[in-house]
Chain A
């Protein structure tokens, strides 16, 4: 009993001391964080100031060049200079100060406007499961507003900023005692073990030194490695959007919306939206094999080399190609000599692992780095990788490969290829373009015209978003997502170009602005890669295109102006006169899912101002945060414009067209009810009428 006494006392003392330490440490950390935050804000502010300064100077410079009326310094009006303002202090020791009064002229007010970002093309954003801010409902708090807010918050997973503060990272894992003490101080933050886990999690993930394992060093950098072709091109392949021609584009980066159950089964939501190129068929005619030696030192002059290359080309067979297409053909660069089993093994594992780039061929590299026959020709990692990449494209055209690598001769390349035993067989396209193809194509086209008619008759109002289909096992039949959604297959689909469901394009020689044009009839813009005769593929630089059915994709919008509306709030005005049915502008904005639109719409309803526009069954265009000037066009029951959702190269886009001839300076209106019956209530005048 005696012995226990001092021990507990000691322990108590200890724990008290620890508690104090934890408390002080906690305080210190918080202060530190505060300081850092303040510093950051200060820095940001200064940076902003500098930016503003720069911009103003730039602007002033620009203005000096132009003949522009300078903005006058606000002059005093009348004899106000005689008036004085007095600042009085409550304390007797301070004298009251007087200063001349300067009056600023009144500036005519403008209607209310929320800030927004300009955009000329739709921009897809994800659903927001966290409410970013609680909408401002005015200074006065009404009961119905509160009820509304509660309901709103229920719709979301949470409100931004609810999470607690994080621990500052450090390198070493502290003693268990500390965790224990913290846990006793903040019991609500979890047990000792949990805190420890959390600490590890928080400190380890953002280590900036290490590159993530999937990443290969830059080809041009000093640390370039020798990797497989797939690995070298992985970033380019996965990030490139074949539809926008951009890397990590703004419109097609989202995983497909599992709106309907049948689709969600077809394509897993984990899969990247951007299709990898491997499945696209290569144009066979492109593979050129130079038959003439490129110079005196050309590898072709070596004995047997040319035959070797040629032979490999001839040997290629069709079944093999098909097989490669069935699998994820990341094996195109793998060695046949290595043995098929190992290769396919790796391949299957890799595909099961979700297509990661993990297949560094260590063995291969070792073999390649052993200088067997080549006399001291050093290949560094970059060169090796580059060779593999190029061989996938150029096959045995070693002269070209050498030219592109730049640092090696074709003979060296050949030697390396032989050593690597990576001589590839060039796939030869069977059949090729047969003379009967034309006839077939024509038949196809005629069938399509019928189909379009048929589609028209069905006139189902449901329009679904287009997704490139990818079902290598079978042709586009009733199970193809394109067919199911009543969309045509596009050039982005993985199916055969002669697929029955493909849209053939038009063969018009006129302006494609009547229903004679199959594209116009199908509410599609002419595809510059399909419609070769109407002019949609010509005159890229000029605005004078003979085809009038490609305005949205080319952005041939009219100059719009913004001014206070004659009806309500702001309005959109047109600068130059337009004719009936001319394209005016695309209604751009954020592309959001229908669910997200529901959530947002609830807030917009409350504000009585909505820029939502139904795009199709899956998506809605919301011009609230991002948009273009046409967003200010008001609703009218007797409008001068109409809206039309057009399929433009695989994307649904909203075009605003002139309903009649419009004079310059006229305000633009269109009928909001086009898609939404309830959109009416956002418009001032009609709203007032309703209230009356």
Chain B
């Protein structure tokens, strides 16, 4: 599983998910509708249960949704994301090796020159215009409800003239008013009118081939989309209910008028002739292939004279408000039936549904894209789905499990294993991400590894396989990717200036791991109930750390900094200062020295008595300047003497420290004298004056001192 943060599914999940496989048109942006695939399956079970009460069913359905809705939503979202921006490719997984068509055999003999050779060769091929592949259309017949085939086949001509045009809608250029349209007449054929349903020999039917070269971008205009325009000219009686209604959808633009000069010149309409048209998009404007191999029945539309259309190229949709049941159109209206096949040069390549130059991003996408449309019953074109899928399945089975048609039943267990529902599927697509796994083993492995929010258990079944699906209660959705990604903002990658440090993330890669032989038995429900817990053995810093003070995420470049390396956090420094400041019976000189000393000790964290001599010398070096500036020399001397009284420093240290301090002071004075000479002498008399005034007060204080001598020593700390 790719690293991704689950549980982020908000409202965005629902809207991002594509319409579900079996969602029967309910797929909308709402959260509920995303359980579509299952609601469908629930509905499928309905007849099996004997006349269940409606409420009971509803409640049951609710329970079902409760259990499976959320994870399904998440996997839907991930599927879509994986299509748009794949994190990994399925074909590179070992259990999906059959999806990988590349071989490594050539690598040994590979030469760089080969690449050039290859390119040159390819260019040559293109020039020679070999029919690399072509679109083959085989027309079965033109059906019109008014004409009974029995009638027509005998007296009148039982064929109509069909003209097939390739319409290229080009990109609008500045000078163009509308999108330039190019119509390339491809072929004119006679198509049998209302033939029997009995199969005729394919060779007898009219067919035509459109070279894929036609779908290559032409030089003059960049072509936006390609579509096939079918025009049937029927020389019959006037139709009573001529106008048939069609639905529009993205794929098929039924009933459009193409104002072409050619049409004007035509004189079909004069003698009761009728022209029916239909258009089908081959490649849409995103260059996605819309027409896959299969049998098609196109609803034709009678072309009316429209004067407007001659003036302007407008895309018009004729809609009468009434909505007809879709299949009515096909039973009544004029329809054209044909088989479509993308044929290649050689037989084995013929299955490639995509023309070379317009290859879509991956073949899966194309398949997926076609799927929802093909299943919509409201569409004008009913593709015989079973045929398409049959073909595909067959193809796949040829590749992996020769000639074994598997039916896979999904059994959903929920609500304490009491309720079970099943849905039969006969392909090996993953129901959550529609990935074609092609092999049962691969499917099971994929389900187990990629959809670990569920538990899948394989149960052999006479018709194929049954997969029990239940919710994985022990699912660990914890994040294993780069923790920085969680907090990084979108577009963040481009907002940095210059190289920056990244969080190192450790992943363990096992080189040539020991692999057991793939066997379906590994998916059987284990006896002891719980499988061995897959524990991640990844060690390292695969998580996002936070600053302990502000709970902000720790950025990669801050990883090396330990906030606890600071022995004296700022608040503690401030605290010791205020605490000393709070003393009322300690004079300011003492306070200053104490504060400086405390900060010094806190910074260096002295722990031993025998460090003290060194600490004092260091103190002089670091704070000597301040001591001199604040005029604290004598207080500092008192501090040293006090330290000596505590037996912590030697007399030698006192001498040395004071000598050093004097030295620093002299240098300071010298510098000051050098700078300015006048203010220094004025200080001196002031000082003496002050002392002169102060002496009587000091005596007074000492007198009060004696009178107040009863104060206990503890009062030293007034704050307490």
- Chain A residues close to B by CB (< 8 Å): 66-70, 72, 74-75, 77, 105, 107-108, 110, 113, 117-121, 211-225, 232-233, 235-240, 242, 244-248, 250, 270-272, 277-278, 280-283, 286-288, 350, 353-356, 358, 360, 362, 380-382, 386, 389-390, 392-394, 400, 403-404, 406, 491, 527-529, 537, 540, 553-555, 557, 559-564, 566, 573, 575, 585, 628-629, 632, 649, 663-666
Contacts and interface: CB of A to CB of B under 8 A. Distances in A.
A203 B548 CA distance: 45
Contacts of B497: 70
B40 interface: no
Nearest to A68: B557
Nearest to A242: B646
B195 to A, nearest CB: 53
Given A117-B571, A250-B572, A283-B650, 4 more contacts: A214-B715, A223-B697, A239-B594, A406-B633
Interface residues of B, number: 113
A240 B646 contact: yes
Contacts of A663: 539-540
B716 A66 contact: no
A218 B539 contact: no
Contact of B590 (A214, A218, A575): A218
Contact of A248 (B544, B588, B594, B701): B594
A672 B102 CA distance: 59
Interface in B622-678: 631-635, 637-639, 641-648, 650-651, 654-655, 658, 662
Nearest to B697: A223
A120 B489 contact: no
Contacts of B695: 381
Contacts of B608: 527-529, 537
A560 B710 CA distance: 53
B564 A381 contact: no
A553 B607 contact: yes
Nearest to B602: A246
Contact of A389 (B501, B551, B641, B646): B641
Contacts of A280: 645-647
B523 interface: no
A215 B717 CA distance: 12
B542 A67 contact: no
A386 B634 contact: yes
A360 B698 CA distance: 11
Contact of B545 (A277, A381, A561, A585): A561
Interface stretch (B154-162, B217-225, B442-450, B576-584): B576-584
Interface string B248-289: 000000000000000000000000000000000000000000
Contacts of B718: 212
A356 B491 CA distance: 71
Contacts of B644: 393
B492 interface: yes
B641 A390 contact: yes
Nearest to B539: A663
B578 to A, nearest CB: 11
B691 interface: yes
Given A72-B495, A277-B647, A562 B615 contact: no
5 contacts: A118-B549, A120-B566, A120-B568, A380-B691, A393-B645
Interface in B478-516: 478, 486-487, 489-492, 495-501, 506
A221 B607 contact: no
A182 B214 CA distance: 108
Contact of B489 (A75, A392, A406): A75
B629 to A, nearest CB: 12
A356 B548 CA distance: 46
Interface in B691-720: 691, 694-695, 697-698, 701-702, 704-718
Interface string B405-441: 0000000000000000000000000000000000000
Contacts of B707: 213
B647 A281 contact: yes
B117 interface: no
Contacts of B495: 69-70, 72
Given A221-B589, A665-B543, A360 B702 contact: yes
B580 A247 contact: yes
Contacts of A386: 634, 637
Nearest to A525: B607
A527 B585 CA distance: 35
Contacts of A237: 642, 645
* Across the A-B interface, the 10 shortest Cβ-Cβ residue pairs: A218-B589, A222-B690, A358-B709, A528-B608, A236-B642, A277-B645, A354-B712, A219-B634, A213-B708, A223-B694
B694 A393 contact: no
A625 to B, nearest CB: 12
Contact of A214 (B571, B606, B705): B705
B588 A218 contact: yes
Contact of B607 (A213, A392, A400, A649): A649
Contacts of B634: 219-220, 224, 382, 386
B137 interface: no
A77 B10 CA distance: 15
Contacts of A225: 698, 701-702
Contacts of A540: 611, 614
A410 to B, nearest CB: 14
Contacts of B588: 218, 221
B635 A220 contact: yes
Contacts of B551: 110, 113
A355 B651 contact: no
A211 B718 CA distance: 12
Contacts of B314: none
A108 B487 contact: yes
B680 interface: no
A537 B611 CA distance: 9
A238 B601 CA distance: 18
Nearest to A662: B539
B606 to A, nearest CB: 5
A282 B642 CA distance: 12
B587 A213 contact: no
B645 A355 contact: no
A37 B401 CA distance: 87
Given A110-B546, A386-B637, A212 B585 contact: yes
Given A356-B712, A665-B542, A247 B598 contact: yes
Contact of B541 (A362, A527, A665): A665
A214 B566 CA distance: 37
A67 B499 contact: yes
A663 B501 CA distance: 23
Contacts of A218: 587-590, 635
B543 A272 contact: no
B530 interface: no
A119 B572 contact: yes
B493 to A, nearest CB: 10
A120 B583 CA distance: 25
B609 interface: yes
A232 B580 CA distance: 17
Contact of B598 (A219, A246, A354, A555): A246
B164 interface: no
A517 B243 CA distance: 106
B631 to A, nearest CB: 5
Most chain A Cβ neighbours within 10 Å, of B486, B557, B637:
B637
A246 B602 CA distance: 8
Contact of B655 (A223, A247, A358, A400): A400
B690 A105 contact: no
Nearest to B586: A235
B383 interface: no
A322 to B, nearest CB: 18
A217 B713 contact: no
Given A238-B716, A250-B576, A380-B691, A406 B645 contact: no
Most buried by B among A117, A235, A354, A392: A235
Contacts of A212: 584-585, 718
A216 B701 CA distance: 9
